[in-house]
Structure 1
Amino acid sequence: MVVQVVLWGTLLLLMWLVFLKKPSALPPGRWGLPLIGYVPITRRSIEQQVTELRDKYGDINLWRMGTQVMVFLHDYQLIKEAFNRPEIQGRPQWETLRLRETQPSGIVSSIGLRWHNNRRFTLQQLRDLGMGKSKLVAAMHTQATQLVEELKKQVDSPAPLPHAFNVAVVNIIWQMVAGTQFAPGDPKLKEFENIMDSLLESLDRIAIPDFFPWLHNILPSWFMARMFKLDMAENTKKRFLDFFSGIIAEHRTTFDPDNLRDLIDGYLMEMDERKDDPNNTSDERDLGLLIFDLFVAGSEATKDTLIWMIYYMATNPHMQRRMQAEIDKALPRGTQVTLQDRPRMPYMEAVIHETLRVSSLSTYGIQHQGTEDTTLAGYIIPKGTLISSSNTSVHHSPRYWHQPHKFMPDRWLDHNGKLDSKKEGFLPFGVGRRQCVGESLAHMELFIVGTTLFLSLSSSVPPDKSLSLSPLPGTQILHVPMPQDVLVTVRGE
């Protein structure tokens, strides 16, 4: 009997050491059970729980979710070090990111040579097509002006901000990608938005098997497809690629290598010039998924940031008046804002930067994955570990910001009143080798569209109402602004 007790005790101890106890060399945090990880029974959001991990364990901590080992970083310097490491440049092999592609394509989920080629190409295209180029700036002026006209329809009548915000931002990206803009109400625009909405809607369900991949081994494929919307995601992705294959085909028939009109033309040129290059990774399917990445990353983030800016100005009317006085001084009546006006409008730039910081739209950015065993902050980071930057923790940290939860654009101005944008602890577009390629384009849009809006209009909190500056409840990884009534007035009337 004693021998049996000893044997069972030894077996349980071994199971604890091998399967249940977190290896001591890993960062501190939540470990949980094999295959399941640590699944708390709580109503607290993921963000609240990760904040609790930071408060308990410090700037680097771990949470095993299902089979996925997630490491969260809460310090800017630590994030910068990690995301510049060559061995931490991978991406999770999640269907959510890969869109069920055998070979990850585009720029967000790709790795290795394909990612390198797509990043180089996209940065070059953004320099050639953006950075103040006349066609793209003209598109921003057109969309901003149309947005002002849409907002004027609800002047003096408190109402949520219109869908026209989404249309404006989509059209700006469309101009860069395909050289055209949709008219409001265009059936093809509605079709495109429907495809994007359907695909994004299905991603929540797809994400569950990403954390519990062993479900594929125990559940029938038909059940997996229905339960986790795998077929819906696949069909919607096909609709998206079919939609753009027609546009790419049209570009092929009118392609002129001496007159490149947009990003699609640039990619077709790349395909032709490098078709015999053994390092070439370009093909039309990759182009379609690259376009998808640009729309998902660019349209939602820019639209939501503009809405946050309007909310912050509505709740801080003295700041709005100061910003508008600067706009009036910099722009003679009847002129349109250009990028050359930026040095004369430091407070407008400060408002944009502070909106990006306080709203902290992307809570954790896009996860990196270790491609080999490494160490970080004295801990072992095994190959395959997922590493997330806790952007909100950094943006709201007193280590980097005085009164971090307060909206204070003046923190971005130096003693001469000039913009001081180089600050530690600021990473709305990420940091390191995989930093967002669209950062310069986003700043252009926010400056030109934002200036155009506040040149003509003012926003305020409706009488006898309040305006919440908390993100929409239920969104786990994005700080989406709540739809709510805003009072819009025409300036000078």
Structure 2
Amino acid sequence: MLTEAVLGVVLLVLLLTLVNRRPKGLPPGEWGWPVLGALMPSGVTIEDHLKTLRRKYGDIFTWRMGSRTVVFLNNFQLIKTAFSNPDLQDRPDFYSLDVFTDKVKAGISNANGVHWHNSRRFALRQLKELGMGKSSLMDAIQYEVTCLVDDFMKHTGRPQPIPMSLNVAILNVIWKITADIRYDVDDRKVHEFNDLITELFENFQRGSVIFDMYPWLPSISPPFLTKYLGVDALLESVEKLRVYILQVMGEHEASLNPDKPRDYIDIYLIEMKAQQGNPESTMSKLDLCAQVADLFTAGSETTNQTMRWGLLFLAKYPDVQARVQQQIDDVVPRGTLPSLEDKPKLTQLEAVIHEISRLVSLVPLGLSHAAAADTQLAGFTIPKGTVIIPNQEMCHKEPTYWEKPEEFYPEHFLDSEGKLKPRKKNYLPFSIGRRVCPGEALSRMELYLFLSALLQNFTFSEPEGEPLDLKRNPNALFFNLPKPQNIVITKRA
């Protein structure tokens, strides 16, 4: 018995050693223990730990996180090179992402290979046709802008949170494109949908990340563990969103006129029917549901949070706000909303929008990629399946590139004459390469039209005795979100 026990222990050790063997050619870094990987020191934030690893190993390093081999890229050129490589374009099989599509790689954001190429091509073409970045969509956004200004008028003169109407206005833009739907600011349905999106983001950041790092864990986890880790709450939120979108899709199917498509869902349904029988088609109702979910989760909440950061920064820096307002007044007649035609002349506002995105780094570690095949990068071997993480925040705060990396300094994007500089390196809030955000033009359009109109009509300031705290909300693990706090809205004369 003793001999068998010892032999069993020896075999287990040998097995773990074999499984934990570090592949040859990997970038330097932390490998750690079998199964557990390299654990992060207690009491240290991931941001500080990554800085330590960069100082120790350089701009490209490996961190074995659980059972995953993860390579971090910490400068602009490395990220640009990697994300232009066809073999580094997959999304990893993360549990927290795959639950959106029943563990099938579908949609715009999470698909791979041919499916991703098809979905991205369709999305870019249709978003462009529906007006993304064009004046044809500007009228719809400016209607939301007008309603937003009218609602902000009801919230002037007292300290309070940024009004909920901002969320509604941004959601309405996405609803207009996807389903030709619009909600009034007091409509209960849009408030419920906003709560659902917020709940989904909150649950996404909880314990399911453990399942991402230990992909074998979901199959053996007892119910009490999935509940404790917050996985059950994530699954419930995902199902609520799926049911909501499927209901809208069903309504579209029932009223569909192939000769007069109204929106993104109509166009997809028509094209899906036309593609029936095509063996190369990847279109399905599951994929459409995933694409609509992508448009809302990536297209509404990111713009909403960037807007909120913007209003807080402008309230904290009244001199910057005054310069932006003065330029708006010089270019746009009062009583007329700023338009896309005015954009080239509103350089102060454009610089502010760029600087907010740089300093905040809303998604500090970007969206993860995965190696679809063994690949060479910067002289190292990246094995198939390796997770690639771009440290976008480190690029945005690189002291050798940015004059004042830790400060709010819109002059980073302006020349000595106050003109907007050409697009800068080390600036990638929408990622870069083959999987650059397909909604970038829409997001920039919304940020410009909403912020310009609000600053034309209002001044934002700190409440007396309540200084604004521009540090990120510590409860948001994977996103740099602002802390909930009050602001004062004052109508401009």
Cα 1:447/1:278, change in 2 over 3 Å: same
> Which residue is 1:61 aligned to?
61
User: How does 1:94-493 map onto structure 2 within 5 Å?
Assistant: 94-99=94-99, 101-131=102-132, 133=134, 136-203=137-204, 204-216=206-218, 218-220=220-222, 222-492=223-493
Q: CA deviation at 1:339?
A: 1.1
For 1:170, give the aligned amino acid.
L
Which region of structure 1 is more displaced relative to structure 2, 367-376 or 267-276?
267-276
* Secondary structure class of the residue paired with 1:189: helix
TM-score normalised according to structure 2 size: 0.92
- In 2, Cα distance between equivalents of 1:238 and 1:219: 20
Q: CA deviation at 1:68?
A: 0.9
Q: CA deviation at 1:305?
A: 0.8
- In 2, Cα distance between equivalents of 1:261 and 1:421: 37
* Secondary structure class of the residue paired with 1:459: strand
Which region of structure 1 is more displaced relative to structure 2, 167-176 or 271-280?
271-280
- In 1, Cα distance between equivalents of 2:187 and 2:12: 66
> Which residue is 1:5 aligned to?
none
Q: CA deviation at 1:181?
A: 1.0
Cα deviation per residue 1:205-259 (whole Å; 9 max; x = unaligned)? 3222221233345443x34543444444444433322222222222223333343
Q: CA deviation at 1:166?
A: 1.6
Q: CA deviation at 1:152?
A: 3.0
- In 2, Cα distance between equivalents of 1:134 and 1:120: 22
For 1:424, give the aligned amino acid.
K
> Which residue is 2:7 aligned to?
none
Cα 1:75/1:41, change in 2 over 3 Å: closer
- In 1, Cα distance between equivalents of 2:334 and 2:59: 50
Check the 8 A contact 2:315/2:321 in 1, yes or no: yes
Check the 8 A contact 1:241/1:285 in 2, yes or no: no
Q: CA deviation at 1:179?
A: 0.9
- In 2, Cα distance between equivalents of 1:457 and 1:79: 40
Q: CA deviation at 1:133?
A: 4.8
Cα 1:17/1:283, change in 2 over 3 Å: closer
- In 2, Cα distance between equivalents of 1:367 and 1:199: 19
* Secondary structure class of the residue paired with 1:394: helix
- In 2, Cα distance between equivalents of 1:196 and 1:472: 18
* Secondary structure class of the residue paired with 1:215: coil
- In 2, Cα distance between equivalents of 1:235 and 1:393: 34
Cα deviation per residue 1:352-406 (whole Å; 9 max; x = unaligned)? 1111111111101110000111121222211111001101100000232122222
For 2:364, give the aligned amino acid.
T
Check the 8 A contact 1:46/1:476 in 2, yes or no: no
* Secondary structure class of the residue paired with 1:259: coil
Check the 8 A contact 2:17/2:34 in 1, yes or no: no
- In 1, Cα distance between equivalents of 2:273 and 2:15: 58
- In 1, Cα distance between equivalents of 2:343 and 2:260: 30
Cα 1:287/1:217, change in 2 over 3 Å: closer
> Which residue is 1:7 aligned to?
none
- In 2, Cα distance between equivalents of 1:176 and 1:57: 46
Q: CA deviation at 1:456?
A: 0.3
Which region of structure 1 is more displaced relative to structure 2, 370-379 or 459-468?
459-468
Cα deviation per residue 1:258-282 (whole Å; 9 max; x = unaligned)? 4332111221222122223221111
Cα 1:253/1:23, change in 2 over 3 Å: closer
Number of equivalences: 483
Q: CA deviation at 1:132?
A: 5.0
* Secondary structure class of the residue paired with 2:459: strand
For 1:384, give the aligned amino acid.
G
* Secondary structure class of the residue paired with 2:210: helix
Cα deviation per residue 1:405-438 (whole Å; 9 max; x = unaligned)? 2222222123443322411101000001011000
Check the 8 A contact 2:96/2:211 in 1, yes or no: no
For 1:150, give the aligned amino acid.
D
Cα 1:15/1:240, change in 2 over 3 Å: closer
Which region of structure 1 is more displaced relative to structure 2, 202-211 or 319-328?
202-211
- In 2, Cα distance between equivalents of 1:292 and 1:16: 40
Q: CA deviation at 1:202?
A: 3.1
* Secondary structure class of the residue paired with 1:124: helix
TM-score normalised according to structure 1 size: 0.92
> Which residue is 1:52 aligned to?
52
Which region of structure 1 is more displaced relative to structure 2, 68-77 or 227-236?
227-236
Indicate yes or no: 2:77 matched with 1:73: no
- In 1, Cα distance between equivalents of 2:356 and 2:255: 42
Cα 1:78/1:187, change in 2 over 3 Å: same
Check the 8 A contact 1:315/1:461 in 2, yes or no: yes
- In 2, Cα distance between equivalents of 1:132 and 1:33: 49
Q: CA deviation at 1:81?
A: 0.2
Instruction: Give structure 2 stretches of 5+ with no counterpart.
Output: 1-9
* Secondary structure class of the residue paired with 2:460: strand
For 1:205, give the aligned amino acid.
G
Cα 1:200/1:306, change in 2 over 3 Å: closer
RMSD across aligned C-alpha pairs, in angstroms?
A: 2.4
State, as a whole percentage, how many aligned pairs show the same letter.
Answer: 39
For 1:398, give the aligned amino acid.
P
Check the 8 A contact 1:460/1:487 in 2, yes or no: yes
- In 2, Cα distance between equivalents of 1:424 and 1:133: 26
Check the 8 A contact 2:133/2:442 in 1, yes or no: no
